Amino acid sequence: MTTSAIAVTGLRKAFGDKTVLDGIDLDVPAGTVFSLLGPNGAGKTTTVNVLTTLTKADSGTVRVAGHDVATEAKAVRSAIGVTGQFAAVDELLTGRENLQLMVDLSPVTDDKRIVDNLLQRFDLAEAADKAAATYSGGMRRKLDLAMTLVGDPKIIFLDEPTTGLDPRSRRTMWTIIRELLADGVTIFLTTQYLDEADQLADQIAVLDKGRLVAQGTPEELKRQIPGTHVRFRFGSVEDLDTAARILPDSTRDDDALTLRVPSDGGTQSVRTLLDRLAEYSLDADEFSVNTPDLDDVFLALTGHDTAEVVAK
């Protein structure tokens, strides 16, 4: 029996006459990573703000760590840590001072080791006494997260923790998130990066224009779209016509002059396809083997780029 760290039912929120969240239901078991995936403006940050007591919902119930965010905000706050969308570090203070500030404001006992340990753990010891303004984007993010961890929160909210980071810093952040999980915390993560959700999350919910359009494990979501396929792009409609005729089960896109053919992506089956094209002296300008990733899932579910997917 697992317990819910976060349980949301029927969450609605509008700003003026603009509906931002239109009936969200979700459930995050304790000790797991939950990822809310969506493009800019989907309502991710508003969701985080409601879940972290910063914004009041118009309707629906939200329980975090077993407490209602509307009526027991204090109890919720003492159980959570939040790293917002922008690294909320004090740039005029040093890394050490930023962490000490959190210690001073938390109910934890003032112990020099808390700050030192966090600086060590996040690889910031060397820069500890420099102003945070001099830190790189990745270092700021790490400091931000370290500050969030000062009170030993059981549930951590990370709002787009890797947006704007270079690939190496992203991987570092991913490693840190996995370590947190190993310590038994629950993580609620928002991201616009599909590979990030794929890498980290136990459960993913796809948010689009204030609604959840899909929810499940990364594998379940991937199952909702067509499998591996090979894609050809041709130089003319005539070539596309011919290819579509000779390759069974293919799906064509006349605008892009592309043809997608189901295939397992193995050398044998790809060779068969290429041989078939050669038989008819067809030359494809472009050729690629595509395994479905969350991008495909996202496009399929939100319909923002339906050309390829609807045709299945």
Interface residues toward other proteins, by CB under 8 A: 49, 52-55, 74, 77-78, 80-82, 84-90, 92-93, 97, 101-102, 104-108, 110, 131, 147, 151
Nearer to other proteins, 55 or 190 (CB): 55
Report whether 62 contacts 70 (CB < 8 A).
yes
Compute the chain's Rg from CA coordinates. Answer: 24
In whole angstroms, how close is the CB of 55 to other proteins at the nearest point? 5
In whole angstroms, how close is the CB of 210 to other proteins at the nearest point? 17
Nearer to other proteins, 80 or 282 (CB): 80
Nearer to other proteins, 82 or 284 (CB): 82
DSSP for 154-189 reads SEEEEESTTTT--HHHHHHHHHHHHHHHHTT-EEEE
Report whether 151 contacts 80 (CB < 8 A).
no
In whole angstroms, how close is the CB of 304 to other proteins at the nearest point? 28
Q: Which token pair is 90?
A: 């004090």
Nearer to other proteins, 100 or 117 (CB): 100
In whole angstroms, how close is the CB of 19 to other proteins at the nearest point? 17
In whole angstroms, how close is the CB of 73 to other proteins at the nearest point? 8
Sequence-ordered list of residues with C-beta below 8 angstroms from that of 105, at least 6 positions apart, any chain: none
Nearer to other proteins, 76 or 284 (CB): 76
Nearer to other proteins, 127 or 259 (CB): 127
In whole angstroms, how close is the CB of 86 to other proteins at the nearest point? 5
Residue 257: CB atoms within 10 A of its CB come to 19
